[in-house]
């Protein structure tokens, strides 16, 4: 009887739209983004940036809240790690491509590195630019840096 109920339930799932969606493994979200930032588009989550942040909180070697006062020190420290990712709230995420390729930002009072990532405006919008042009000007939004080796 149990086998019959299981079989019927499986058939009902398939009939109603296929197999249930698999949730993306949290460590896979982080690894995939580091390897290829555009992989974020494949994350099966309402907000892939939030999914990344939740996973990164557990997996990062170091997590730092970023602001105008500590930006220079944070970017210098990022040079000691293999990967540096910055998020702004739940709507922006960037992977630093090259700390040496940077552009002076008056609002951040620092040389902001080249990066790529996403701004979420309903849909994810891919960005490839200097960090200041993606993460925005210093304000009261929470910006978090995740450092990985």
Q: How high is the pLDDT of residue 14?
A: 33
Q: Does the residue 90 lie in any domain?
A: yes
Rama region for 22: left / alpha / beta (φ>0; ψ in -120 to 50; rest): beta
pLDDT of 39: 92
Residue 27 lies in a domain: no
**HSE value, Cβ hemisphere, 13 Å, CA-based, for 56:** 28
Q: Are strands 83-88 and 143-148 parallel, antiparallel or unpaired?
A: antiparallel
pLDDT for residue 136:
96
Task: Let me know if residue 52 belongs to a domain.
Answer: no
Mean pLDDT, consecutive 10-residue stretches, the chain (149 aa), reads 38 35 68 94 91 96 98 97 97 96 97 97 95 97 97
Task: Provide the domain limits for residue 122.
Answer: 60-148
Is residue 55 in a domain? no
Helices (H), 17-149: 26-35, 48-59, 71-78, 131-135
CA 9 from chain center: how many Å? 36
Q: How confident is the model at residue 25, as a pLDDT?
A: 66
Q: Look up residue 58 and give its two tokens.
A: 């557990």
Q: Does residue 77 form part of some domain?
A: yes
At residue 100, the pLDDT reads 96
Structure confidence at residue 27 (pLDDT)? 84
- Cα 139 from Cα 143, distance rounded (Å): 9
Number of structural domains found in the chain: 1
């Amino acid at each position: 009887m149990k086998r019959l109920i299981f079989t019927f339930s499986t058939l009902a799932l398939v009939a109603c739209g296929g197999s249930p969606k698999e949730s993306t493994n949290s460590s896979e979200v982080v690894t995939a983004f580091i390897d290829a930032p555009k992989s974020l588009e494949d994350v099966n989550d309402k907000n892939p940036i939030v999914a990344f942040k939740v996973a990164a909180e557990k997996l990062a070697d170091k997590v730092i809240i970023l602001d105008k006062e500590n930006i220079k020190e944070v970017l210098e420290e990022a040079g000691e790690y293999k990967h540096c990712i910055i998020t702004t709230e739940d709507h922006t995420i960037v992977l630093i491509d090259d700390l040496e390729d940077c552009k002076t930002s008056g609002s951040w009072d620092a040389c902001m590195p080249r990066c790529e990532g996403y701004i979420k405006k309903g849909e994810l919008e891919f960005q490839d630019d200097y960090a200041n042009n993606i993460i925005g000007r210093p304000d009261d939004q929470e910006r978090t840096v995740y450092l990985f080796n």
